[in-house]
Amino acid sequence: MYEYLSECCVSHPSSRNLIHNVSIRVAKLCVSIVDNGMEKTFQFADGEAVVRAVDEGILMRIVGTDVLSYYGIRTALEGSILEVAALAPKEFAWHPADRSPYIEAVDAGLNINSLGGRISRRHRGVR
């Protein structure tokens, strides 16, 4: 069972390309990658990361069996995104999954304009 779980939304104009480039970098560390078009699931020995493209950004969900695995996966994703997209670290806002404002907004069918992108009702089901 996964004990460490959080979610993050990063604003980026070409989210599909970003996810593709991140997956190339992270593939060396993964046990497997499942590609569902707009979403990729990265399986690690002690956790996983789900990365989904939304209008002008990406939603990420990271889970780990222990704190070291969790932060290792998170660091690998953040580092890859910083290399590919040249985003400042302040644009990563991680939230516990049970209190994530991004997923709650998706479930409510709201748009999140303050992040520079829109998350609409059709992007439900990231959980």
Q: How many domains does the chain have?
A: 1
Predicted TM-score (pTM) of this structure: 0.73
> Which CATH number do you get for residue 64?
3.30.310.50
Alpha-carbon distance of 60 to 30, in angstroms, equals 16
Q: Which domain holds residue 8?
A: 4-123
- pLDDT, residue 51, reads 92
pLDDT digits (tens, 9 = 90+) for 80-118: 988 887 666 556 878 887 655 555 544 554 343 333 333
Per-residue pLDDT band for 76 (boundaries 50, 70, 90) equals very high
Identify the helix (H) or strand (E) that includes residue 107: helix 101-108
Token readout for 18 is 């970003």
Among 14-28, 38-52, 63-77, the minimum mean pLDDT is found in 14-28
